[in-house]
Chains A and B, each alone.
Chain A
């Protein structure tokens, strides 16, 4: 009897229902986001447009709106949200700190610096123009995190404290450099600032296709890392005593999460709070086990950012708010609420 109950409890914890429900939520939100805008697309018309596109001849006005404007934008927001949130869950797991986020090791300030350099010097230095803002951001984000890792490295691996310190130090230096660029090239400052705050206004299928090959392997690696991340929560020493190759696991996970972060930042700019709030909320709602936390974070990250982008383009329509401002405005109070509930709950 007791055993049967225990088994039932265990299956409730591992069953697919939360993932199913979350997937449905994503479908609904995506549907809503594609329908709403300056031209409202009714559910029937949306279905028709989707079918037209899948059959290979999207011709009507609605088809164009759905396939050329809304869908790539929504898809990109979903992918970026999923990436940032996955990366956030991984960072929080590796650092065993619920306040860690994907930008902790300098990916954001690196990307911001790279993007600013291109925005300022484009036209002056031909190869920079050729490189483009996205790739510059991507490369600089990876380079920054790489440099932070090298700086933090010690004889016996990568102590989390040195990583965080190196990340903070290098991050603030690069932010300072970015601020200097903005002051020095005032005519470009608005462009830099709007890039830094993040936007999906220029989303295209091309960007979606650049993100996918980076995101898919990252998701696969992180989905396999559930047990390793769980055991890491016992502390690095205990994890090692249970046979986990702690340093290798940390390196692989941080590299994967950083790749996902850099990809997200390079197509959408620096969007804050998604990688912090979403994994945190998912953990409170569905428990801490990473086998479940990782996929659910991805799905809810997508939901959150699609909704945030919907707000960004509708609230002050026809003007747009940078989506990073929306996530911060919504995410901040939401996060406080979660923290309060958690404190009163425990």
Chain B
């Protein structure tokens, strides 16, 4: 049982952005994807959400190729927290979270007790229950992100794909979103997180995948992957890495930039 990508090629027009990408997410794991701009992180997200076709290699979810899933079926396996989520004005938080039940309810049926329970649980997990009747327009950035996470959890997926979920959040909410994700992973789902902040990635992920120019150049536990040599080479700028237990701390050398 895993979300598995082998030798993935994908891109736009003539150009392949991803040239050879392998990765594997198992339930109970948070896997981070890092790499400089243009390395192929967004392309990877687009392939997994089926907005871009697989040109080569294999992408499978629990042993079944991605393209063999029906739309609703896939949405029950894989939930996405998008990079810039839209929360339409006027809807209450509860209404927004229950939209996450769509893959289970379908478009024509009404929600049942199980759906209401799943929505309740998702809101409790993300600490948004007290916001249930609040309108989306009146939420702070951190609250909005928690609501979007709640919607994804209401899908009861086996895998969660988070596309730079900490963007534009202040420190407390960055930590919070990753903590809620971790809690959910401990309950048995797998998470794939695209992150920009290397220190957050080091702190939040069990394994890291480093992408550079469409290839995986390193993979493993944060302490193994995030060496000064690798980070300096991949990002093209000098950094120091301070080892703090198993969690490395990356400090760019600003004076030499």
Assembled-state Cα–Cα distance A346/B90 (Å):
10
Interface string of A30-74 (1 = CB under 8 A from B): 000000000000000000000000000000000000000000000
A233: Cβ under 8 A from any B Cβ: yes
The 8 closest A-B pairs by CB, nearest first: A243-B75, A233-B88, A288-B90, A243-B72, A243-B71, A243-B103, A242-B102, A235-B86
* Interface hit among B91-99, B197-205, B207-215, B221-229: B91-99
Q: Which residues of chain A from 1 to 30 have any CB-CB distance to chain B below 8 Å in the complex?
A: 2-3, 6, 9-10
Query: Are A244 and B102 in touch, CB under 8 angstroms?
Result: yes
Assembled-state Cα–Cα distance A283/B89 (Å):
11
Closest chain-B Cβ to A279's Cβ sits at a distance in Å of: 13
Interface string of A228-268 (1 = CB under 8 A from B): 10110111011011111100010000000000000000000
Assembled-state Cα–Cα distance A289/B90 (Å):
9
Assembled-state Cα–Cα distance A283/B107 (Å):
21
Query: Are B102 and A233 in touch, CB under 8 angstroms?
Result: no
Query: Are A231 and B102 in touch, CB under 8 angstroms?
Result: yes
B82: Cβ under 8 A from any A Cβ: yes
Assembled-state Cα–Cα distance A95/B170 (Å):
32
Query: Are B132 and A243 in touch, CB under 8 angstroms?
Result: no
B244: Cβ under 8 A from any A Cβ: no
**Residue among B51, B86, B105, B137 with most chain A CB within 10 A:** B86
Closest chain-A Cβ to B124's Cβ sits at a distance in Å of: 11
Closest chain-B Cβ to A238's Cβ sits at a distance in Å of: 6
With CB as the reference atom, state the residue of chain A lying closest to B99: A231
Q: Residues of A with Cβ closer than 8 Å to B?
A: 2-3, 6, 9-10, 96, 224-225, 227-228, 230-231, 233-235, 237-238, 240-245, 249, 283, 287-289, 346
Query: Are B82 and A237 in touch, CB under 8 angstroms?
Result: yes
A-side binding surface: helix, strand, loop or mixed? Answer: helix
Closest chain-A Cβ to B96's Cβ sits at a distance in Å of: 8
Closest chain-A Cβ to B58's Cβ sits at a distance in Å of: 21
Contacts A241-B49, A288-B89, A288-B90; A224 near B82 (Cβ below 8 A): no
With CB as the reference atom, state the residue of chain A lying closest to B86: A235
With CB as the reference atom, state the residue of chain A lying closest to B75: A243
Assembled-state Cα–Cα distance A243/B85 (Å):
16
Closest chain-A Cβ to B130's Cβ sits at a distance in Å of: 9
Query: Are A238 and B137 in touch, CB under 8 angstroms?
Result: no
Q: What residues of chain A lie closer than 8 Å to B94, measured between beta carbons?
A: 6, 10
**Residue among A231, A233, A238, A346 with most chain B CB within 10 A:** A238
Residue from the list A2, A224, A242, A288 in contact with B88, Cβ < 8 A? A288
Assembled-state Cα–Cα distance A243/B90 (Å):
23
